Amino acid sequence: MQMHTLVDAGQLDRRVQLQAPTVTRGSTFGDEAISYSTSATLWARVAEALAPESTQAEQRVASRKIAVRIRYRSDVLPTWRVVFGSRVWRIDGLAEVGRRQFLDIACTETSDA
C-alpha cells in the first residue's frame, strides 16, 4: 500500500501512539512478559485496506493492512506497535519518504471473525 509522496501537514489528521516493548522476566520461573510503553504521541495520516480473510486454527481471521505516515523519526523500530484509539497495529515495515520528510509504517491489524 503506497501513499503519495507529497503530503502537507494538514493531511496528518489522526493522533496515534508509537509504543515500544519492554521485556521483563519473572523471578520464580524466568518466564518473559512483554509490556508496551508509549514513546510518542503524534499526528499521522492513516489509510486502511481490507485484506482477504484467512483461516488459522480452524477459525476465520480478518486482517487489515494499514499504512501510517508520520513526520520522519529515526528511533522507530519494527518491534514497536502503533495504537490508534482502541486499535493496536503490529508494525510490518518502515520506509523513509523523501529526504527524511516522512516515515511510512506498514501495519497489520488482525481480529478473529
With 90 as the cut, is the pLDDT of residue 84 above it?
Answer: yes
Lowest-pLDDT range, 13-17, 55-59, 97-101?
Answer: 55-59
Cell of 24: 521483563
pLDDT at 64: 85
Query: Rounded distance, CA 23 to CA 74, Å?
Result: 22
CB 76 within 8 A of CB 58: no
Q: How do the domains of the chain map onto residue ranges?
A: 9-112
pLDDT at 44: 96
User: Among 60, 39, 42, which residue's Cα sits nearest to residue 51?
Assistant: 60
Assigned superfamily of 9-112: Bacteriophage SPP1 head-tail adaptor protein (2.40.10.270)
Task: Tell me the average pLDDT of the chain.
Answer: 84
Half-sphere exposure of 53 (CA within 13 A, CB side): 9
